[in-house]
Structure 1
C-alpha cells in the first residue's frame, strides 16, 4: 500500500487526504491547529459568517426606505426615522467561533471515516530519500517538544501548510487594539472607530463589514484605489459605495507604524500624517508557513518570498514531494488549494489528472456588493493579451434589481470575436458568488454567447442580465462579421 503523509490540514491537505484514501493509499495528516486550517478556523468561514450579519444590516439600511419599510418604536403607528437596530458583536463572534469549530469537526469526521490517520503536531521533512525512494517526516508536538516526536515513512509527501498574517515591524498586533484578521473574533464589543490598513480583498471585506455593523471606518490604501488587483470598474463601484456610506477611504497612503496611546491607536503614515482610532486592523498580506520545515535541505525550491515552487500538477523540485495551497503562492483561494491537493494525489497515485488551469478559476470578494470574476479580465484585453469583445450592463436596467432596491453593480462579459466563445466575466451585485457560476461553466466548457443567450432564464431575475449581455455580444459578433 502506498504511504502518503500530508503536512497541513487545510483545504489543500484534507481534500488531498480524501482523494488519496479513495484511491487506496495509507494516509496520515499531520496538523497543528485543527482540520480545515486557517480557511475554516480563522479566515474564510469566520469572516464570511461575520459578513453574513453585516449583509443583513446593509440590506436593511440601504433599501428599507425605498421598499416602504418603516420602524415604529413607541407603538404610535408612525415610523421613527432612526436606525433602531444594533449589533451585539460578542454574540456575533460567539456564533462565528461555534460555526468554525463545527465545520472543522465535520471535516475531521469525514476524513476519519475515510480511514485517514490524523496526528496533531508539526511536521518536518528530513533531507534526502531512502534507496527505495521513500521520505521521512518527523512529527513533534504542537509546541515542538522533541519528547513527543514520531517519525513517519512516506512514499509521497504533500506540504499544505498555508500562511499567516504579514506584520509591519512597527505595527505589531497586540490582540486588543491592534489586530490581525485572526484576532478580530475575540472582540466583545464593536470598535467605535476602526482603522483598516490594507485595501486588498481582506481589508476591503472587513472594512465593509465593520462599517455595516456600525463602526466608523477609515480604510488606508497604499494604491490609488481599493482592490487594486480586481476589475477596475468593479473596484470603482465598491469605492463609491464605501464613500457614500460614510467610509473614509485614504488612497495613496501607506502605513509606517501603529501604536497604542491610552485607550486609542495612532497610525502613522509614511508622509508623516497621523490617524487616530479606537482599533486598528492590519490587513497587509500573508507570509507562507514554510520556515523551519527542512524544505530546502530536502531539495524543495523556495521563491524569494518563501513560497514553494510547484508545477501545474503540484510537484516541487524534490522527487516525491508535492505542495498545495497558500504556501505555494499560486492563488490564495481555498478552492485552488483544494484543487492543487487533489491534483497532487491523482498525479502521484497514477490516476487521470488535468493540470491546474487558473483561467477557469472563479473568485469572489465578499463585500456589499460582492465582486465575482472568472477568466480573462478587462486589463488582459486592454494590454493585448487577448482579443475580446466586451459588454457591460448596469444592474439599474434589471427589473429584479429595481424590485429589490439594488442600485449598484453590473454584469460584464468577454467573448472572442468571430467565434463568440465566452472567455471571461465580472459580476458586481448581491450574491455575485452565486451568479458567476453560469459564466464559469461557459468559460470552462468554451461555450458561445449564442448558447448562453438561448438558454432560458427566470423572469424577473438578476441572471437575466447575463443572458442579455450574451445577446448583445451576439449582435456585436454578427455586426463584426458583416
Structure 2
C-alpha cells in the first residue's frame, strides 16, 4: 500500500518538531500539523515565557540588595505591558525558528487541526485528508480546572501570559511547581499574592525537607501561603472577585489563577476512530518505544502522561525516530531526571527524596543549610539548602537536592554525576570551588542523625 507520507506528526511542540525534523533528515516524507502556534506548551505558554517572567520578577529584590553593596538606587517601577510586549516579541521569534527549522529539514507543515480517521489516515480542519505509514501524536497537555461555582472567572497558566493588566491582588490555587512558580513571580512583580493548597504542604512528590524549606522562604518573602485551604466559590463584584474560602472566610482579589495539574490533550482527537487505547486521565497508553496498541500509531510527550518535561518529550521524539526510521530500537531513559523548579528560592533536584530512599534501603543523609555570601552585605536572611541522600550499602548518591540561587544550573551538573553512579566518596574527592555556594556539595563530612 502506498501512503501520502511516511510520517504524519500531529502537534508542533518540542517532541513533535524534534521527531519530524529527525525523520525528515533520513529522507522520509514527513508532514506536521499544528492547530495553534509552533513551539507547543514550552515555547508559547510554558517554560520560555515563564522563565522570562522569573527573570523580570527577580529585579525587585536585586534593587534592594544593591544598596547593601554601596549602590544608590533610585525609585523603581514596573510596567507590565512592556514586559508582556517584550515576551511576545521573543516568543514570536522562537516560533518562527521552529517552523523554519522544520521546513529546512524537508518536512511539510500544515497550520490546521488534525484528527485521526483510522490507523493510517488523518483529516485536517481544512478538509484535507492524508494517509501515512506512521502517525505520531504529540499534542501535549492542557490545564485542569475543577468544576466550581464561578469557574468562568478563573484563568489558568495558559492565560496568565496574555493579561492586559497586572492584577494587584492575585490568588493562586494549587500546590505544584506551576502554582508555586507563579506565586513567586507575581509576588516579585509587586502583586499582593495569596496561595491556597488543599493538602498539608506544597510541592507533593519532592523531598519533605525541601518542601518545608521552600514554603518557609516563600512566606518570608511576603506570600500568604495557606495550606489545607481550598476555594468554595468565586463571585464577581464591583470591588473584584469575591472568593469564599473552605474555612468560611472571604477574600477579595483581582484575579484567580488555578494551577491544579495538567491533563493529556486528547479530547476530540479521534483516537477512538483508530482504536487507540487511552488511560483513566485520557493519556495515550504506549510501550517503552512510544508505540500504542495500534502498530502504526505512536505518541510522545505530555499526551502520554509519563514525565511532563520538555527535555523528556524531545528525547522520546528522538528515540521514536531511532526506532522507526533507523531500525535501532531505542527507549528514552526516564530514570534520574534532573529537575528545576523556578520558585524563589529556586529548587534543583535529582534522584530520590529522603522519605522515598528510607523506604527502600538504609541511607545516610548529609545536609547544609546556610546563608550564602551574596545575602550577607545585602542584609537578607534567606538561606540555601544542600542535601545528599547516600546508600549505606553502595555509597552511591541516591538523591541530590539544592534550594537557592542558581539551583537549576547546579543540578544539571550534579545530575551528570548522579546519573553516572557517583558515590559520596567521589563527591568528597572533588576539590571545592571557593568561594561558591556549590562547594557545600563536596564539603559535607558528617551525616545527620537519623
- Maintained 8 Å contact 2:217/2:382: no
Residues 152 and 352 of structure 1, relative CA distance in 2, 3 Å threshold: same
Task: Name the CA distance, whole Å, in 1 between partners of 2:222 and 2:37.
Answer: 39
Quick check: 1:27 aligned with 2:30? yes
Quick check: 1:233 aligned with 2:205? no
User: 1:185 is matched with which residue: 161, 167, 173?
Assistant: 161
User: 1:10 is matched with which residue: 6, 9, 13?
Assistant: 13
Quick check: 1:162 aligned with 2:173? no
User: 1:366 is matched with which residue: 328, 342, 345?
Assistant: 342
Q: Which residue of structure 2 aligns with residue 416 of structure 1?
A: 391
- Maintained 8 Å contact 1:395/1:465: no
TM-score, structure 1 length as denominator? 0.86
Residues 245 and 119 of structure 1, relative CA distance in 2, 3 Å threshold: same
Aligned to 1:189, what secondary structure does the other structure show?
A: coil
Aligned to 2:443, what secondary structure does the other structure show?
A: helix
Deviations 1:100-133 (A, max 9, x none): 11111111111111111111111111234xxxxx
Q: Which residue of structure 2 aligns with residue 392 of structure 1?
A: 367
Task: Name the CA distance, whole Å, in 2 between partners of 1:427 and 1:264.
Answer: 39
- Maintained 8 Å contact 2:348/2:408: yes
Q: Which residue of structure 1 aligns with residue 413 of structure 2?
A: 438
The total of aligned residue pairs comes to: 444
Task: Name the CA distance, whole Å, in 2 between partners of 1:245 and 1:463.
Answer: 23
Deviations 1:126-150 (A, max 9, x none): 234xxxxxx111122xxxxxxx222
User: 1:458 is matched with which residue: 424, 433, 439?
Assistant: 433
Q: Which residue of structure 2 aligns with residue 307 of structure 1?
A: 283
TM-score, structure 2 length as denominator? 0.92
Cα offset, 1:37, TM superposition: 0.7
- Maintained 8 Å contact 2:386/2:402: yes
Matches within 5 A, 1:196-275: 196-275=172-251
Quick check: 1:124 aligned with 2:115? yes
- Maintained 8 Å contact 1:157/1:320: yes
Cα offset, 1:271, TM superposition: 4.1
Task: Name the CA distance, whole Å, in 2 between partners of 1:246 and 1:436.
Answer: 27
Residues 406 and 298 of structure 1, relative CA distance in 2, 3 Å threshold: farther
Aligned to 1:258, what secondary structure does the other structure show?
A: strand
- Maintained 8 Å contact 2:208/2:353: no
Cα offset, 1:296, TM superposition: 2.7
Structure 1 runs not aligned, ≥5 long: 74-83, 129-134, 141-147, 477-482
Cα offset, 1:351, TM superposition: 4.2
Aligned to 1:185, what secondary structure does the other structure show?
A: helix
Task: Name the CA distance, whole Å, in 2 between partners of 1:353 and 1:91.
Answer: 48
Task: Name the CA distance, whole Å, in 1 between partners of 2:244 and 2:395.
Answer: 51
The alignment yields a C-alpha RMSD, in angstroms, of 2.3
Residues 399 and 247 of structure 1, relative CA distance in 2, 3 Å threshold: closer
Aligned to 2:415, what secondary structure does the other structure show?
A: helix
- Maintained 8 Å contact 1:86/1:213: no
Matches within 5 A, 1:47-86: 47-61=50-64, 63-71=65-73, 73=74, 84-86=75-77
- Maintained 8 Å contact 1:88/1:189: no
- Maintained 8 Å contact 1:168/1:257: no
Task: Name the CA distance, whole Å, in 2 between partners of 1:123 and 1:225.
Answer: 40
Deviations 1:378-401 (A, max 9, x none): 22123x1344322112243x5566
Q: Which residue of structure 2 aligns with residue 132 of structure 1?
A: none
Task: Name the CA distance, whole Å, in 1 between partners of 2:35 and 2:165.
Answer: 30
Cα offset, 1:421, TM superposition: 2.1
Task: Name the CA distance, whole Å, in 2 between partners of 1:13 and 1:28.
Answer: 11
